[in-house]
Structure 1
Amino acid sequence: MSEEKRSDGTMRVDTDLIRQLADLLTEKDLTEIEVEDSDRRITVKRQLTITTAQVAAPAAVAAPVAAAAPAQAAAPVTEESAASHPGTVKSPMVGTVYLSPEPNSSPFVAPGVKVAAGDTLLIVEAMKVMNPITAPKAGTVRQVLVQDAQPVEYDQPLVIIE
């Protein structure tokens, strides 16, 4: 890192070095890195935004009425195609998924059950906070893509509503 000055006296910025430092931040999951050489110091920072939803644990909810089997048996959606399906509800966070409000109770939804917009589909527990995942639209649950107490990742497909 040699100090280079332009003819007007301002310091010349080494954009390649800054890109390398930014890549290193991401690669090593750092928030700040600083490099110093002679009279020049470069600091690269990234701001992480952490959001947590403070939601109370859901109260006991009446189990949905069991629906009859769908009129036509649709083939199950694979995980690859579920990601691009227009009715896919994805996990908004990393956590553990629970399909029912409490152990040994009926699940919130099952394939073939009709849901209204805002109905709870399942719960994702993140950092000891129970976060209800609700239906973004009314429709029929085509497929539940996760199992009870399964760890889930951000943006992972959970349920398909048609």
Structure 2
Amino acid sequence: MSKGNGKSASKQESKKSEMSKAGVDQELIRQLAALLTETDLSEIEIETDGLKLRVARQVAQAVAHVAAPAPVAHAPAAAPAAATAAEAASHPGAVSSPMVGTAYLAPEPGAAVFAQPGTQVSEGQTVLIIEAMKTMNHIPAPRSGKLTAVLVDDGQPVEFGEPLFVIE
């Protein structure tokens, strides 16, 4: 083993020792945990000054039990709807989310939506709002055209890059 490798290994051990002496910033962990809940994310990972921290939570999924089996005729109808959403997402006019947050289709609860499918929108016109970290971010139409599909529901959490709507 060369001297350089021995020094490097001892530096790493010394750094680990310093981290355990100093401890992990518990306030940072609490803030990240609160952010998970606030933004409805399942996991956050950060890396700073050689320290990598991952905070994750398990999200319980609701399971509905049906007393009677669903009619078979309704099962195939769901597949075309899913296919239509996938096709709209891959459409060249699809506009994706610039951030993680919660999508709102209207300026406030009970108000009329910004734009409905079939309406003409102008470049820069607000089409929806994404709330991220208690900030309401107006999402403008990147180009003028006909809004052919809205791919998210009001109050739905969205991820970065997720298709929001289609403008032709």
What secondary structure is seen at the aligned counterpart in 2 of 1:154? coil
Deviations 1:106-155 (A, max 9, x none): 10011100001000000000000000000000000000000000111111
Give the count of matched residue pairs.
Answer: 103
What is the RMSD of the two structures over their aligned residues, measured on CA atoms?
Answer: 2.8
Does the CA contact (< 8 Å) of 1:97 and 1:151 recur in 2?
yes
Does the CA contact (< 8 Å) of 1:94 and 1:152 recur in 2?
yes
Q: Percent same amino acid among aligned pairs?
A: 48
- Give the match for residue 108 of structure 1: 114
d(CA) in 2 for partners of 1:127 and 1:133? 15
d(CA) in 1 for partners of 2:48 and 2:108? 42
Long gaps (5+) in structure 2:
9-43, 53-79
- Which of the numbers 153, 156, 167 marks the counterpart of 1:161? 167
* Deviation for aligned residue 1:82: 3.5
Does the CA contact (< 8 Å) of 1:112 and 1:140 recur in 2?
yes
What secondary structure is seen at the aligned counterpart in 1 of 2:88? helix
- Which of the numbers 29, 37, 52 marks the counterpart of 2:45? 29
d(CA) in 2 for partners of 1:107 and 1:134? 14
Normalized per residue, which structure has more helix? 2
* Deviation for aligned residue 1:32: 4.5
d(CA) in 1 for partners of 2:99 and 2:114? 19
d(CA) in 2 for partners of 1:90 and 1:151? 13
Long gaps (5+) in structure 1:
6-10, 12-27, 34-43, 47-74
* Deviation for aligned residue 1:158: 0.3
